[in-house]
Structure 1
Amino acid sequence: MGSKNSTATKRADALRSIDAIVQAAAECLGKNPEASLSEIARAAGVGRVTLYAHFNSRAEVVDAAMSRAIDRGNEVLDTVDLTGDPRLALARYIEAGWHLVDQARALLAAAQRELPAGRIRELHAGPAARVETLVARGRAEGAFRTDLPIAWMVNVLHTVMHSATEEIRAGRLTPDHAADHITATVLAAFTPPGTPVPETGGGA
């Protein structure tokens, strides 16, 4: 009986350690994509031995931190209203999605360095599925072009979002203008050829 309780206690302690490490990794890598495992262990209040007991490599730690950020992001995106006019729904998605990308900028830089491209695509599958559904509806309703594949259009949106983070880092764009710039660019790309591009209502 005692051994069963001590096993449960050990498991609870292990889960607490893992959670502390993943949270510390998200925070440390969010400030510095090159943060070392020693820094992450220190921030989590655990020793390197404990960290290596749960994660075999830096890539595994980065993967766990990125997965956590995307899970949190999916919770935020679940609250975005994607009904009604597809163009307005797209603008709402970009507004929410951009803030998530902006917050996870350094973490994403760490992930791109450590993880294979296929894994990063896999992690983004939830957000990508939402945009695919929205683009498909917009095409069916005549708001978005149908001469390009949906996967390409989703890729264009995410590429523009990530480019905005690079422009901010380079000092050529301010975060408060980013969502408007992304929305205007993506709507221009998604509008059927020969159709006037809708005004997004955002300032320059």
Structure 2
Amino acid sequence: MAAPSARSRRRADAERSIARIVSAARELMSSDPNATTDDIAQAAGVGRMTLYGHFRTRADLIEAALTDALRAGEETLASIDLTGDAREAMTRLLASSWELLAESGALLAAAEGVLPAGRVRELHAEPVQRMTELIHRGQEQGVFRTDLPTTWLVSLTHYILHGATNEVRVGRLPAQDAADVVTKSIQAALSS
């Protein structure tokens, strides 16, 4: 068996560096949306030049970290049983969605602060589609309201979820109460 070429070793090293940088960005920005690139490079064990060699701007790094968080979140959300009564399925979906958002709410705030308008929404395409389909099903079952556009109801759920992360972050909503508050608020807003 031939030894890996120098080029493939450099490529593997670069991939490991990228993974460490993205992981460090996710971890640091999940608690502090203002974490600096210096902080992230230090946490990743790389120099600033290495970080900027892979991510030209802080916005590029934040987008990569958010994309990675959403990919991991999608694995969780895709495993949720959304069959049966739409209200019960919504409760299960909201519980998992809240857990994911609680972990990465500050990262999301960082992304909203630097990414172009609409980009965060684009990155959320799969979760938005899942929520849309579930709301449609609930409307067909007669348990979710039909007097408002589905797109508005989906947006409303996201506004409540994201608003709750901010309320927890600033101390107006106890973290241990947030999942219940979010679920009750959204279920009330969706009920027919």
TM-score interval, normalised by the smaller of the two chains: over 0.9
Q: Distance in 1 between matches of 2:32 and 2:169?
A: 13
Q: Percent identity?
A: 47
Q: How does 1:112-191 map to 2 (within 5 A)?
A: 112-191=112-191
Q: Distance in 2 between matches of 1:119 and 1:134?
A: 23
Q: CA deviation at 1:3?
A: 11
Q: How does 1:1-204 map to 2 (within 5 A)?
A: 5-192=5-192
**In terms of Rg, which structure is larger?**
1
Number of aligned residue pairs: give it: 191
Kindly report structure 1 stretches of 4+ aligned residues shifted beyond 3 Å: none
| Aligned-partner residue type, residue 177 of structure 2 | H
| Aligned-partner residue type, residue 26 of structure 2 | A
Q: Aligned to 1:31, what secondary structure does the other structure show?
A: coil
- Greater RCO between the two (CA within 8 Å, min separation 6)? 2
Q: Distance in 1 between matches of 2:106 and 2:185?
A: 24
Q: Distance in 1 between matches of 2:94 and 2:84?
A: 15
| Aligned-partner residue type, residue 47 of structure 1 | G
Structure 2 alignment gaps of length 5 or more: none
Deviating more after overlay: 23-32 vs 54-63: 23-32
Q: Distance in 2 between matches of 1:9 and 1:179?
A: 45
Q: Aligned to 1:34, what secondary structure does the other structure show?
A: coil
Q: CA deviation at 1:117?
A: 2.6
Query: 1:42-75 CA deviation, whole Å, 9 max, x = no partner?
Result: 1111111111111110000000000011111111
Q: Distance in 2 between matches of 1:184 and 1:4?
A: 56
Q: CA deviation at 1:80?
A: 1.0
Q: Aligned to 1:117, what secondary structure does the other structure show?
A: coil
Q: Distance in 1 between matches of 2:23 and 2:162?
A: 23
Query: 1:115-153 CA deviation, whole Å, 9 max, x = no partner?
Result: 123110011111111100100111111111111111110
Q: Distance in 2 between matches of 1:111 and 1:31?
A: 13
Relative to the length of structure 1, the TM-score reads 0.89
